[in-house]
């Protein structure tokens, strides 16, 4: 994906360490995360972008594994971990109880650190939405609060637990979302569809900035040229992510079972873990795919790129629902960045962004996905041309542009230029236009 060139003023923002900030210019930001750092790639990208702008950034997160250090500095970002493990249970009761316990622990650590050295801004990463209220002591003493909504909690709960749309739990989650967005000084979210739904729920549009999950080119470098898929002895289908029902990995397995007779050398490589891992392995055996499918377990995000680069096609078999129809699959952008065609189930947000001439859209079933894989195998030149069109569509939302919108939003919310702009003649912080387009 070709990357735009930043202007001179923008280069000043990106450049870090060119001029050490004075005490008067020093600005501190805390991030709250109900998860592990730096495992969450969105949080990592944003935290490092702020550190590159000269902010002192603390990410207060969960210590999910005993071998993790309670406190460490990673690429200029200080990770402060609290010893409260996160459950991945499907039980709604355990899900809520875990959130409540973790929110308490994270909030207590934030209050302690804020008392020691005041933060200028606290950015709270969801889920859950109500984690934002942990920033109350900091807000009462002058800190600004940003709520970064990775996923809409009511819709995600509907998708995860198959709840009725007008049920008591969903109504409660919508109330919490409304209270959380009202409490925050600014709201960031991960798609324009999320933004529109929040506006419909009463959040002023000017209070929202869209920050897409665009891949970092330092982690996912683009190839110098696009190659034709299916030119080797193996035709490798690639998937990575969390193994849960809504991401449709079972559909992808069944699709490969249908396509293997029409695609010589077909191989399906999967990276990821999740609550359906054992079931999916059993399904692969049941379908007679043991010699065609490789379950390779978890691989850190920073190590995925060379594995993706070896593939012929990336598959995104998500099951459309109210959440999936509004959420961009990050893996799709990563496939495009790494130069492999994409076969995906048709969702509203992907149709809206890409149209009909780039993604190989399929019905959300095994037969439709199988036809998509076979089409890429049988039409390698056309598949490469579709990928080229996807890359052009993605240029306006490349990470270099998105990060400037993000860092500009943070500076505007604080009300001061980024520390790296101190002494450069920048006298005001201006919220930049969202790249959602």
pLDDT tens digit string along 303-324? 999 999 999 999 999 999 999 9
Closest CA to 348 of 328, 364, 325, 331: 325
DSSP string, 342-356: EEEE--HHHHHHHTT
Q: What is the predicted pLDDT for the residue at 89? A: 53
Is 255 among the domain residues? Answer: yes
Is 437 among the domain residues? Answer: no
- Positions in the chain whose pLDDT score sits under 50: 1-18, 423-434, 436-437
Q: What is the predicted pLDDT for the residue at 432? A: 41
**Do residue 138 and residue 22 come from a single domain?**
yes
d(CA 416, CA 406): 14
Is 175 among the domain residues? Answer: yes
Is 270 among the domain residues? Answer: yes
The CA distances from residue 262 to 231, 257, 266, 285, 359, in Å, are 15, 10, 9, 20, 21
d(CA 226, CA 229): 9
Where are the extended beta strands (E) located within 276-403?
Answer: 293-295, 313-316, 342-345, 360-362
Is 3 among the domain residues? Answer: no
**Do residue 140 and residue 172 come from a single domain?**
yes
Where are the extended beta strands (E) located within 243-384?
Answer: 266-273, 293-295, 313-316, 342-345, 360-362
Question: Who contacts 373 (Cβ-Cβ below 8 Å, separation ≥6)?
Answer: 237, 255, 256, 259, 263, 266, 313, 315, 343
Strand partners, 236: 267
| CATH for 345 | 3.40.50.2000
Is 429 among the domain residues? Answer: no
**Do residue 365 and residue 261 come from a single domain?**
yes
Is 171 among the domain residues? Answer: yes
Averaged pLDDT of the chain: 89
**Do residue 153 and residue 184 come from a single domain?**
yes
Tokens of 172: 């409660």
**Do residue 168 and residue 149 come from a single domain?**
yes
**Do residue 146 and residue 181 come from a single domain?**
yes
**Do residue 118 and residue 249 come from a single domain?**
no
**Do residue 416 and residue 386 come from a single domain?**
no
Closest CA to 311 of 229, 226, 194, 197: 229
d(CA 68, CA 408): 32
Q: What is the predicted pLDDT for the residue at 310? A: 96
The CA distances from residue 10 to 29, 306, 362, 417, 432, in Å, are 21, 30, 40, 12, 11
Tokens of 419: 């520390």
Q: What is the predicted pLDDT for the residue at 25? A: 64
Please count the structural domains in the chain. 2
**Do residue 194 and residue 93 come from a single domain?**
yes
Q: What is the predicted pLDDT for the residue at 429? A: 42
**Do residue 280 and residue 338 come from a single domain?**
yes
Judging by DSSP bridges, how do beta strands 77-82 and 28-33 pair with one another? unpaired
Per-residue burial over 52-79, b if 16 or more Cβ lie within 10 Å, else e, is bbbbbbbbbbbbeeeebeeeeeeebbbb
Question: Who contacts 312 (Cβ-Cβ below 8 Å, separation ≥6)?
Answer: 229, 230, 232, 234, 235, 236, 237, 340, 341, 376, 377
**Do residue 360 and residue 259 come from a single domain?**
yes
d(CA 374, CA 104): 51
Closest CA to 79 of 38, 127, 135: 38
Tokens of 411: 């500076």
Tokens of 210: 């869209």
Domain that holds residue 160: 8-214+398-421
Is 426 among the domain residues? Answer: no
**Do residue 386 and residue 406 come from a single domain?**
no
- Please check whether residue 81 is in contact with residue 63, taking contact to mean a CB–CB distance below 8 angstroms: yes
Q: What is the predicted pLDDT for the residue at 101? A: 80
């Amino acid at each position: 994906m070709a990357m735009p060139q930043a202007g001179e003023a923008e280069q000043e923002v990106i450049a870090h360490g060119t001029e050490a900030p004075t005490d008067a210019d020093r600005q501190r930001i805390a991030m709250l995360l109900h998860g592990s750092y730096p495992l969450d790639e969105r949080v990592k990208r944003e935290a490092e972008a702020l550190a590159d702008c000269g902010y002192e950034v603390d990410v207060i997160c969960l210590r999910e594994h005993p071998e993790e250090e309670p406190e460490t500095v990673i690429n200029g970002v200080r990770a402060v971990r609290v010893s409260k493990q996160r459950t991945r249970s499907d039980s709604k009761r355990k899900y809520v109880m875990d959130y409540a316990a973790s929110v308490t622990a994270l909030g207590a650590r934030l209050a302690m650190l804020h008392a020691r050295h005041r933060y200028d801004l606290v950015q709270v990463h969801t889920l859950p939405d109500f984690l934002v209220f942990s920033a109350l002591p900091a807000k009462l003493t002058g800190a600004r609060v940003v709520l970064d909504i990775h996923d809409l909690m009511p819709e995600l709960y509907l998708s995860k637990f198959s709840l009725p749309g007008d049920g008591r739990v969903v109504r409660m989650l919508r109330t919490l979302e409304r209270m959380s967005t009202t409490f925050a000084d600014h709201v960031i979210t991960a798609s324009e569809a999320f933004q529109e739904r929040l506006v419909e729920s009463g959040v002023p549009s000017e209070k929202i900035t869209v920050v897409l999950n665009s891949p970092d080119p330092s982690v996912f470098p683009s190839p110098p040229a696009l190659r034709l898929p299916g030119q080797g002895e193996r035709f490798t289908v690639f998937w990575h992510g969390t193994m849960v029902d809504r991401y449709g990995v079972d559909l992808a397995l069944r699709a490969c079972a249908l396509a293997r007779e029409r695609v010589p050398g077909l191989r399906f490589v999967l990276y990821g873990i999740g609550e359906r891992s054992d079931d999916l392995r059993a399904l692969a055996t049941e379908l007679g795919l043991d010699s065609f499918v490789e379950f390779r377990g978890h691989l850190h995000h920073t190590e995925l790129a060379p594995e993706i680069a070896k593939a012929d096609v990336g598959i995104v078999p998500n099951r459309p629902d109210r959440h999936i129809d509004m959420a961009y699959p990050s893996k799709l952008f990563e496939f495009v960045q790494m130069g492999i065609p994409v076969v995906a189930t048709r969702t509203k947000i992907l149709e809206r962004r890409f149209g009909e001439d780039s993604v190989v859209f399929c019905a959300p079933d095994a037969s439709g996905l199988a036809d998509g894989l076979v089409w890429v195998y049988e039409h390698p030149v056309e598949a490469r041309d579709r990928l080229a069109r996807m890359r052009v569509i993605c240029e306006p939302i490349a990470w270099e542009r998105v990060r400037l919108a993000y860092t500009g939003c943070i500076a505007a919310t604080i009300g001061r230029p980024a520390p790296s702009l101190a002494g450069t003649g920048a006298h005001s912080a201006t919220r930049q236009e969202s790249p959602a387009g």
